Amino acid sequence: MASVGSPPQASSLATHRHGIPTARAPWRRRLYLAIVIDLASCRVVGWAVTDHLETDLVDAALSDALARRPPTDGLVFHSDHGCQYSSAQHARLAKRHGVDRLWRERWRVRD
C-alpha cells in the first residue's frame, strides 16, 4: 500500500529502507545508480546500475536488497515521487514481496 507522509523511525534492522536514484557520467556515458539503504543501520543493502533511468533500475535495486537481506513483516520502502517508484511495475514487485511503499511529501525540496 502506497502512502504519503513523513517516514517513521526505524527501530530495528530490516524494517525500513530507502531508495535513491542518482546519475553519474563517467567516460562521457551517463550511468544511473539506484541504491537501497536500511534506515536502521544506514547500510547499503541493495543496488543496481544501468544506462537508463527506467523502472527496471529501481526494481533491480530493490530485488537485490530483498535477496541480500530478506525483509521482516511490515517492511516499509520509502522513496521519492519519481515515476519509477510510482509505476504499476514497481507496485507489483513491492506487493509480491509484502513491502509497503511510502513517499515523502511533494513539497519537500530534498526529494
Domain ranges of the chain: 14-103
Four-way CATH pick for 14-103: 3.90.550.10, 3.40.50.2300, 3.30.420.10, 1.10.287.110: 3.30.420.10
Greatest mean pLDDT among 7-11, 59-63, 82-86 lies in: 59-63
pLDDT, tens digit, for every residue of 2-40? Answer: 444 555 555 555 556 666 666 655 566 788 899 999 888
To the nearest 10 degrees (0 to 180), the angle between helices 88-96 and 55-68 is 10
